[in-house]
């Protein structure tokens, strides 16, 4: 376990590209795996949207192939599997690997000035464990009775043998367990790497906000994914070995398990998970708005403290998912109060972003556009969250499409746009080639506009009383008038999906035939941009000495001596009589 | 590119990093066991009778003995670490061997407990009471099994003379793991068998 040791670069194809221990290669592997499942999850979303727009009508093109027995129309049982797997795939097998697997791996060592992760082999095992979980998901679609169908939350008793007797449900629960193990392996690595391998001078308060976001995410992952693991473990035992944790009243004498137990375990994990999915984009956005407004991030320490405060609070608010479970009202009140307190640090972060942009010389590059889009959809998502965190309004809105719209704006739209901000931003460093900026801008405008419309359509439908997960909402007379609204929402969804072609084309074209990227195309000072694109195997020939924070823009002193508006974190300002005023950070 | 400058931190610092990784892993696993205990607490709080009148009570003696066995195993392992640190290398192999043997004894006694209870009619589908018992003890036993495997490997390495006063990181890390597994058992004995 020789840390910061120069591992000889592997020469065989297998060690270099498949079973690689290089964090940059593993990052790319996670990116490919995640994007593939993002497309998969997106396709499932389109099927759901088709069902809500035209229930009972055959799905064009793919319908006759997928649903042979019903003449191409989606059947109730397939529908259950489709919306269940859409959620699970997007959260655990698409967004998580892209943001945490790909960018956690890529950014952390490069941005803190390390040569690799603290435990490179564990890192490789983490990816291949993740692949196993993806395979389990794929296999689950081909077993009798199909894939998991108990909703992404997998609530018992629907998820026990009583509700979903097929093998598919077991396989998917096992996949969630396995992917949890992979996430914990990654988390241990990220936490340790940040604590131990920061370059000299890289104090905690000089770390890029991206690293802060990913680090806090890793901490939450390490602490709370195991709880999901336990929930999944007990569910597997219930399903396959006949234990009775989640089945209520199985015997009058012996008492029964408790379906609510699953909800507790699930949400003890599930609420931190919400922040696990949003903290990395918060980090990206905090950095990107500063980078492209050419201004220091406004009250960077405040943003860091806000992110930390949200991480801590996220552990004590899970009960707000369970207001309608017959929870003690006193307990409900406490959870409500804690939940609403989260909006204070979140708002602080938000104001810091706006302050950073305020009067900046903004460069509307593609990553900046996506960062601004992330801010916009996250703002909408955050505001709608207030109605769900408050018990009195939640009782009405619970389990409606309003909830769906809310968590899609925060976890899906913000994570989606945030991921693309990261992809467009680090692509030149990752692949050594540039992406097409005008295709990127088309991608942004279509994505940002239509993703907002889709989820706002869901908010409106939910406010009108549309329950979530309904197979055919129009069986209910009081929902029939919502069909035109839902149709429009579906059309927006289809346009959103179709417009992703601009990204796919751009991505493949750029990976294989993009123009060679410069070392520092965005003109910023964080450590990864001091390296060639793509960086060499061991990242840094010399471990850099860090002198300042990541957002040193438009410093008049730097402008005078170097003639540019940025300075590298490891760059020494040439002496011109006056010493550079890099404030010493508090923590070390 | 210029010449590559090595950046080797001192060995103590590197070992600290590995140690930290292990601590984080065990912290994570503590959350996992914590969640299982939470589940236990919840189903037990709901139950009208614990244990139910028609099911056998869990024995106290054999598992109590087993608690001592696991504690002795942990102590033997800690002695091995102590002797490694103070350079008394010939004693290390036997200490690791004792730790390994005691771990195996623990598993054997667990087997006896399970099979006798099974024969008395306690099986997982008999409600939450046996569910908790089998799920938690079996999940714990898997961890003991992993530990026993690791101890066997450490033992082999010790007898091959691979450790010295300056180099025994794997023993330290596995000792940490083994103490954790032992502590979890202690909590399990108190909450599942005794209370």
| Residue at A496 is within a domain | yes
Interface test with B, best of A162, A187, A226, A519 (most B CBs within 10 A): A226
Using a CB-CB distance cutoff of 8 angstroms, which residues of chain A are in contact with residue B127?
Answer: 244, 250-251, 254-257
Q: Which residues contact A11 (CB under 8 A, 6 or more apart)?
A: none
| Helix, coil or strand: residue A547 | coil
Using a CB-CB distance cutoff of 8 angstroms, which residues of chain A are in contact with residue B124?
Answer: 237, 241-244
Reported ipTM? 0.94
| Residue at A225 is within a domain | no
Helix axes B61-85, B128-159, angle to 10 degrees: 30
Q: Shortest CB distance from B46 goes to which of A3, A6, A258?
A: A258
| Residue at A346 is within a domain | no
- For B22-50, the pLDDT digits (tens) are 999 999 999 999 999 999 999 998 888 88
Task: Judge residue A299's burial from the number of C-beta atoms within 10 Å of its C-beta, 0-12 exposed, 13-18 middle, 19 or more buried.
Answer: middle
Q: Which residue of A has its CA nearest to B43?
A: A257
Q: Shortest CB distance from A254 goes to which of B13, B24, B126?
A: B126
Q: Shortest CB distance from B8 goes to which of A5, A122, A188?
A: A5
The pLDDT assigned to A575 comes to 74
Paired strand residues for A566: A553
| Residue at A435 is within a domain | yes
Confirm or reject contact between B16 and chain A (CB < 8 A): yes
- Reduce the secondary structure of A1-51 to three states and give it as a string: CCCCCCCCCCCCHHHHHHCCCCHHHHHHHHHHHHHHHHHHHHHHHHHHHHH
Nearest C-alpha neighbor of A315 from the set A279, A268, A280, A274: A268
Q: Shortest CB distance from B4 goes to which of A231, A245, A538?
A: A538
Q: Please count the structural domains in chain A.
A: 1
The pLDDT assigned to B127 comes to 85
Distance separating alpha carbons of residues A537 and A120, to the nearest angstrom:
13
Cross-chain Cβ contact A255/B6 below 8 Å: no
pLDDT along chain A (588 residues), means of 10: 60 87 96 97 97 94 90 94 96 96 97 94 96 97 93 92 92 97 97 95 96 97 97 95 81 71 95 95 97 96 97 94 90 94 95 96 97 97 94 94 96 96 97 96 98 97 95 95 97 98 97 95 95 93 94 93 93 69 44
> Which structure tokens are listed for A126?
């983490």
Domain with A396, as residue range(s), is: 365-517
| Residue at A156 is within a domain | no
| Residue at A275 is within a domain | no
Class of B13-48+60-194 in CATH: mainly alpha
Confirm or reject contact between B64 and chain A (CB < 8 A): no
Confirm or reject contact between B191 and chain A (CB < 8 A): no
Cross-chain Cβ contact A244/B127 below 8 Å: yes
Distance separating alpha carbons of residues A527 and A208, to the nearest angstrom:
10
The pLDDT assigned to A584 comes to 45
| Residue at A480 is within a domain | yes
| Residue at A460 is within a domain | yes
Using a CB-CB distance cutoff of 8 angstroms, which residues of chain B are in contact with residue A188?
Answer: 21, 24-25, 28
Cross-chain Cβ contact B36/A230 below 8 Å: yes
Cross-chain Cβ contact A265/B31 below 8 Å: no
The pLDDT assigned to A9 comes to 79
Q: Are A237 and B135 in contact (CB under 8 A)?
A: yes
């Amino acid at each position: 376990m020789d840390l910061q040791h120069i591992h000889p670069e592997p020469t065989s194809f297998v060690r270099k590209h498949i079973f690689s221990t290089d964090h940059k290669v593993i990052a790319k592997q996670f990116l490919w795996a995640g994007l593939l499942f993002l497309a998969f999850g997106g396709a499932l979303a389109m099927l759901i949207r088709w069902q809500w727009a035209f229930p009972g009508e055959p799905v064009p093109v793919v319908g006759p192939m997928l649903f042979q027995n019903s003449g191409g129309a989606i059947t109730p049982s397939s529908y259950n599997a489709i919306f269940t797997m859409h959620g699970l795939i997007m959260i655990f097998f698409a967004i998580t690997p892209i943001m945490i697997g790909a960018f956690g791996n890529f950014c952390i060592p490069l941005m803190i000035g390390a040569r690799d992760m603290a435990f490179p082999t564990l890192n490789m095992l983490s990816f291949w464990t993740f692949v196993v979980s993806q395979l389990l998901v794929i296999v689950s679609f081909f077993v009798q009775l199909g894939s998991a169908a108990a909703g992404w939350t997998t609530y018992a008793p629907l998820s026990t043998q009583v509700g979903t007797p097929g093998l598919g449900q077991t396989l998917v629960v096992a996949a969630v367990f396995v992917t949890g193990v992979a996430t914990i392996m990654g988390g241990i690595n990220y936490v340790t790497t940040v604590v131990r391998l920061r370059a000299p001078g890289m104090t905690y308060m000089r770390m890029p906000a991206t690293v802060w976001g990913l680090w806090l995410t890793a901490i939450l992952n390490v602490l709370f994914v195991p709880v999901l693991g336990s929930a999944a473990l007990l569910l597997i035992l219930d399903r396959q070995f006949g234990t009775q944790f989640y089945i209520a009243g199985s015997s009058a004498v012996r008492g029964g398990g408790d379906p609510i137990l699953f909800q507790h375990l699930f949400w003890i994990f599930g609420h931190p998970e919400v922040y696990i999915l949003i903290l990395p984009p918060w980090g990206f956005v905090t950095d990107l708005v500063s980078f492209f407004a050419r201004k220091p991030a406004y009250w960077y320490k405040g943003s860091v403290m806000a992110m930390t405060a949200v991480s801590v609070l996220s552990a004590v608010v899970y009960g707000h998912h369970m207001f309608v479970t017959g929870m003690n009202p006193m307990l409900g009140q406490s959870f409500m109060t804690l939940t609403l307190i989260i909006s204070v640090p979140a708002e602080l972060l938000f104001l810091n972003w706006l302050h950073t942009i305020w009067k900046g010389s903004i460069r509307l590059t593609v990553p900046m556009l996506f960062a601004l889009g992330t801010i916009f959809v996250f703002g909408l998502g955050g505001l709608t969250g207030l109605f769900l965190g408050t018990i009195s309004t939640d009782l009405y809105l619970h389990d409606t499409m309003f909830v769906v719209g809310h968590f899609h704006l925060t976890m899906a739209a913000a994570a989606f746009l945030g991921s693309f901000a990261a992809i467009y931003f680090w692509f030149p460093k990752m692949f050594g080639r540039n992406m097409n900026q005008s295709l990127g801008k088309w991608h942004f405008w279509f994505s940002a506009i239509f993703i907002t419309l889709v989820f706002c359509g869901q908010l409106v439908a939910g406010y009108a009383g549309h329950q979530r997960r309904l197979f055919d909402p129009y069986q209910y007379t009081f929902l029939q008038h919502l069909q035109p609204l839902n149709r429009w929402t579906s059309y927006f969804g289809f346009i959103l999906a179709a417009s992703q072609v601009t990204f796919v084309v751009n991505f493949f074209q750029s990976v294989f035939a993009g123009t060679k990227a410069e070392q520092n195309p965005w003109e910023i000072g964080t450590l990864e941009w001091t390296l060639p694109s793509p960086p060499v195997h061991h990242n840094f020939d010399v471990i850099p000495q860090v002198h300042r924070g990541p957002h040193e823009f438009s410093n008049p002193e730097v402008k005078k001596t170097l003639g540019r508006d940025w300075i590298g974190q490891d760059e020494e300002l040439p002496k011109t009589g006056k010493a550079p005023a890099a404030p010493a950070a508090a923590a070390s | 590119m210029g010449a590559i400058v090595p950046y080797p931190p001192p060995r103590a610092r590197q070992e600290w990093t590995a140690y930290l990784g292990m601590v984080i892993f065990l912290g994570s696993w503590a959350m996992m066991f914590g969640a299982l205990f939470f589940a236990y607490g919840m189903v037990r709080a709901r139950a009208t009778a614990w244990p139910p009148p028609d099911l056998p009570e869990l024995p106290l003696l054999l598992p109590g003995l087993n608690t001592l066995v696991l504690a002795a195993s942990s102590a033997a392992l800690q002695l091995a670490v102590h002797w490694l640190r103070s350079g008394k290398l010939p004693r290390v192999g036997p200490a690791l061997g004792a730790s390994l043997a005691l771990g195996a004894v623990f598993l054997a006694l667990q087997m006896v407990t399970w099979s006798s209870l099974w024969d008395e009619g306690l099986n997982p589908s008999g409600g939450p009471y046996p569910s908790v018992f089998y799920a938690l003890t079996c999940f714990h036993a898997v961890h003991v099994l992993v530990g026993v495997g690791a101890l066997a490997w450490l033992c082999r390495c010790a007898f091959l003379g691979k450790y010295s006063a300056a180099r025994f990181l794997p023993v330290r890390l596995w000792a940490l793991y083994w103490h954790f597994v032992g502590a979890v058992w202690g909590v399990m004995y108190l909450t599942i068998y005794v209370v």
